[in-house]
Structure 1
Amino acid sequence: MSGTQARPGGRTARNTRAIFDALFVELVDGGLAGLTFEAIATRAGVHKSTLYRRWPTTDLLLAAALTEHPRNDWTPPRTGDLERDLIGVGRAVLDGLDDPQLGPISRACIAAAFDSVPAAEALAAFFDDQHRRAAVVITDAIDRGDLPPGTDPGDLLERLLAPLYYRRLITHRPVTQADLTATARRLVRTE
């Protein structure tokens, strides 16, 4: 084998992480319209040609960042009680939206997805992955007999999470623990 390969954890990996971190800071500060390779490169401490070589446009860079960074190994709590498990999934979403570092990034990425097809596709893939991970609490409940066979995990998750996203991102109202519990309880009772 000839040529050189990038070493995991080597300079390429450090530069990529610095670029993605810088991108998210710039996205939060100025939105998609304000993203420039110059600002990202300066903040990341790399030459802007490093960015141009790998990503021809800022929205392709954003899509790459959404796809590759940070690696997410989240798994939902699995207590064996569907209502508690749904509350755990909802709490994880709300905690992410309310986190002082991740919350602004999440909101900026969602906003950017309205104006960038590559970002929208990457964000949809991220949410698909998160829903696939969360679906295990529903398939567990089906296996236990707590939900009927044929229950659609994706549909149930959307009915849990849509009101949470609506309140936090659209109306900017808080979602209390009581709100989350009531939503989960309604879902369990109607299934």
Structure 2
Amino acid sequence: MAVESAEPGTTRPGGRTARVREAVLRAAGDALAEQGFAHLDLADVARRADVGKTTVYRRWGTVTGLVADLLKDMAEQSLPRTETGSLLGDLKANARLVHRTLTDPRQGELFKALIAAATCDTRTADALHHFYRTRIEEWAPCVRQAVGRGEVPAGTDPHEVIRAVSAPLYYRLLASGDPLDQAAADRAAEAAAAAARAGAYVRHAAPEGMTGQARTEDSQQADG
């Protein structure tokens, strides 16, 4: 049977290989947090991880390959979802987790570097998108449970609610420079919960027979 060869850094290793991967990814994260994507160098990562340069070049091949594997590992290692029994409690737990991550001296700088890299490198962007899809999907059940409890309307889009929680926090980190504190995290959760209860995230089915273009034109006419 033919087996497709995996891209560098995409296999799930064990034993010594797992220890090498852990050391290299940790070193890559440190280097990114300290120097940014533009200065990331595989030889420097190998030195930091105390492994041979040949090992790093053979396994990951390129800086983007290494960064993609780092993001994959971060998604796999992320903390599990908290269940509090209420939508607001769950969303606050999510917001506070994002807050702790983004204000951590190492993790905050690491995310800035990864987001900056994703703006100019397709593979890094794909890996970053996968990371966030994984995190959003992990927290989406809290919204589905809220629908089941009658806290929010049926048809509420779980993914949009979770995005609404973290978006203001990333905006503070990357754009506005406003304080990114726990109070801001709690306000983001409260706003998302209130909007969800009001039906802001309910998915509305398009009228039967209306095409995507027609929906766009209809919306533009309504806005005008």
TM-score, normalised by the number of residues in structure 1: 0.87
Shift of 1:189: 2.8
Q: Which amino acid aligns with 1:138?
A: V
Residue 95 of structure 2 contacts residue 185 of structure 2 at CA under 8 Å; is this kept in 1? yes
Choose the corresponding residue for 2:29, options 4, 24, 34: 24
Report 1:7-86 matches (<5 A).
8=14, 10-69=15-74, 71-86=76-91
Choose the corresponding residue for 1:164, options 169, 172, 177: 169
Name whichever of 83-92 and 101-110 sits farther off: 101-110
Residue 33 of structure 2 contacts residue 107 of structure 2 at CA under 8 Å; is this kept in 1? no
Q: Which amino acid aligns with 1:86?
A: L
Any stretches of 5+ residues in structure 2 without a counterpart? 1-11, 197-224
Larger radius of gyration: 2
Choose the corresponding residue for 2:179, options 168, 174, 185: 174
Choose the corresponding residue for 1:106, options 90, 100, 111: 111
Change (3 A) 1:149 1:41: same
Q: Which amino acid aligns with 1:112?
A: A
Q: Percent identity?
A: 35
Report 1:138-153 matches (<5 A).
138-153=143-158
Change (3 A) 1:36 1:188: closer
Q: Helix, strand or coil: the match of 1:101?
A: helix
Q: CA RMSD in A?
A: 1.9
Shift of 1:89: 0.7
TM-score, normalised by the number of residues in structure 2: 0.75
Q: Which amino acid aligns with 1:165?
A: Y
Change (3 A) 1:107 1:86: same
Residue 27 of structure 1 contacts residue 35 of structure 1 at CA under 8 Å; is this kept in 2? yes
Residue 68 of structure 2 contacts residue 123 of structure 2 at CA under 8 Å; is this kept in 1? yes
**How far apart, in 2, do the equivalents of 1:90 and 1:164 lie?**
8
Q: Which amino acid aligns with 2:153?
A: P
Residue 66 of structure 1 contacts residue 126 of structure 1 at CA under 8 Å; is this kept in 2? yes
